[in-house]
Structure 1
Amino acid sequence: MSLDTLLLNPWLWLGLFILLAYTIEAITGFGSIVIALSLGALLLPIPAMLPVLVPLNICMSGYLAWRNRQHIHWPTLLKLILPLMLIGMLLGYGLRPWLSGQLLKALFGVLVLWFAGRELLRMFRGHISPPHPSWLSRSLTLGAGLTHGLFASGGPLLVYALAGTRLDKSQLRATLISVWFTLNSSMTVLFLLDGSLLPNLPRIASYLPLLVIGVVLGEILHHRLNEQRFRQVVYSLLVVTGVLLLGKAVL
């Protein structure tokens, strides 16, 4: 395979995006799948990437969930988040075959734009979200499950759904990590059943070292970077990526 052919291989670029995404997650604590999927969607179909990115995420979320298990707020996890998100995830998974690749990219572009734009505004204004009414939190949590089933990216809506929660930072982080481990494990089982997991196992294995390298790099850079400024750069990158995704979907 020539160098030009290699450089034109979108799966090679996805590997670079995975390395970048897990480095950023180790620095900031958010968004490995959102970042890798949003950049990868510029080159590859979303349904083709999910059976690779979702199992990869289990490795990190499983390790972090175990390490932070003492901080998990079990009533919130078991009574509020998981029932609604599992229902929403199954709905989103069931909808994916009925949606065209272009429509999926457009919807994901809107989600990325909303998430990154909202975070940038919140950072510049120093805004703290007030608590939501119970019905709105539950509706948003169900919607987060739906977006997780569609894009394995329920984080933006779920974090918004839990705005103003009484959980402290450690409890919220540990509870959210447990959500991703549970949902992504469930999605991996669905990928196994629908036949899309096994053909991707060699690719998943080849990307695993990138995950480890990204985490190590992120841990090193975490202590050397201004996290606030770095988050602004990442959210700005996501805004641009969301615009590009919408542009590709429309054109």
Structure 2
Amino acid sequence: MTDLMTLPWLLLALFIFFAFTTEAMTGFGSIVIAISLGALFLPIPEILPVLVPLNIVMSATLSWRHRQHIHWSTLWRLILPLMVLGTLTGYGLRPWMGDQLLKNGFGLLVVWFSSRELWRMWKGIEMAPHGAWWSRCWMFVAGITHGLFASGGPLLVYALSGLSLEKKAFRATLILVWLSLNSLLTVVFLIDGTLLPAAPRIGLLVPVVIAAILLGEWLHHRVNEERFRQAVFIVLWCTGLILAWPG
């Protein structure tokens, strides 16, 4: 497609490479980072049908690689029911929000998330556990943000801070959550007619994702992850502030 060679889409390809490298390296952030930067140049509803299927490539790869660590009971009994319900609710709310409101709302989410993480890193604060019902409420809200922006990660991590999951199980379970929810969203995009027009872009960007996975895996043991995360959150905070600013 000729519009793939236009500047906004070339920039999005660059952002996707950076975002997916970051997730392969640190375990978080592929869609949040890609949308945060991409939304500076393209409408979020136009980006999502491209990014969500691309994320399936990464989450399927990592889910299979770390399948032995998945905490299945937590996934099926707690996370997925609330997240699926919230995701469908969030998707249903999208037609009621214009592009500008979506962009501002996503910017506020990114500013909150990056500010909280930078504060925790600076102060060395561990996340305090939540009560069961508080966690469930936030899981549902995380699903709503996933339906709106395909970015439920920040709120889901906050919701799950009360669960005593070992680190590897926590990461592997979250990866399978994104595989499940993004597969659901991809089916929804197919039904609403936005997936097929995005298919040529998705096909051309798959090699970018594969290269990002390989680079991220290579960098995982060679770069100071804490410093890298700090740099990413600073970029996200600045970008979120731009997106949240009334346009």
> TM-score, normalised to structure 2's length?
0.96
Alignment match, 1:246: 244
Which residue of the other structure, out of 63, 72, 75, is the alignment partner of 1:74? Answer: 72
Alignment match, 2:40: 42
Provide, for residues 104-136 of structure 1, a one-character-per-residue CA deviation record: whole Å limited to 9, x for no partner. Answer: 011100100011110111111111112101111
- Displacement after TM superposition at 1:233 (Å): 0.4
- Displacement after TM superposition at 1:8 (Å): 5.5
Query: Given residue 36 of structure 1, which amino acid in structure 2 is its aligned partner?
Result: A
Alignment match, 2:213: 215
Query: Given residue 131 of structure 2, which amino acid in structure 1 is its aligned partner?
Result: P
Partners of 2:201 and 2:121 lie apart in 1 by 37
- Displacement after TM superposition at 1:77 (Å): 0.5
**Please, which runs of 5 or more residues in structure 1 have no aligned partner?**
none
SS of match in other structure, 1:91: helix
Alignment match, 1:139: 137
Partners of 1:129 and 1:209 lie apart in 2 by 37
Partners of 1:241 and 1:123 lie apart in 2 by 19
Partners of 1:7 and 1:199 lie apart in 2 by 16
Task: Report how many residues are paired.
Answer: 245
Alignment match, 1:130: 128
Partners of 2:71 and 2:36 lie apart in 1 by 30
Mapping 1:172-211, distance limit 5 Å: 172-211=170-209
SS of match in other structure, 2:42: coil
RMSD between superposed Cα atoms in Å: 1.3
Query: Given residue 150 of structure 2, which amino acid in structure 1 is its aligned partner?
Result: A
Which residue of the other structure, out of 47, 50, 53, is the alignment partner of 1:52? Answer: 50
Query: Given residue 131 of structure 1, which amino acid in structure 2 is its aligned partner?
Result: P
Provide, for residues 4-42 of structure 1, a one-character-per-residue CA deviation record: whole Å limited to 9, x for no partner. Answer: x99852111110100111111122111100000000000
Partners of 1:221 and 1:177 lie apart in 2 by 19
Alignment match, 1:33: 31
Partners of 1:204 and 1:87 lie apart in 2 by 27
**Please, which runs of 5 or more residues in structure 2 have no aligned partner?**
none
Partners of 2:179 and 2:224 lie apart in 1 by 29
- Displacement after TM superposition at 1:145 (Å): 0.2
Q: Could you say if the C-alpha distance between residues 218 and 75 of structure 1 is closer, same or farther in structure 2, counting changes exceeding 3 Å?
A: same
- Displacement after TM superposition at 1:224 (Å): 2.4
> TM-score, normalised to structure 1's length?
0.95
Query: Given residue 54 of structure 1, which amino acid in structure 2 is its aligned partner?
Result: V
Partners of 1:88 and 1:148 lie apart in 2 by 8
- Displacement after TM superposition at 1:44 (Å): 0.5
Query: Given residue 75 of structure 1, which amino acid in structure 2 is its aligned partner?
Result: S
Mapping 1:140-159, distance limit 5 Å: 140-159=138-157
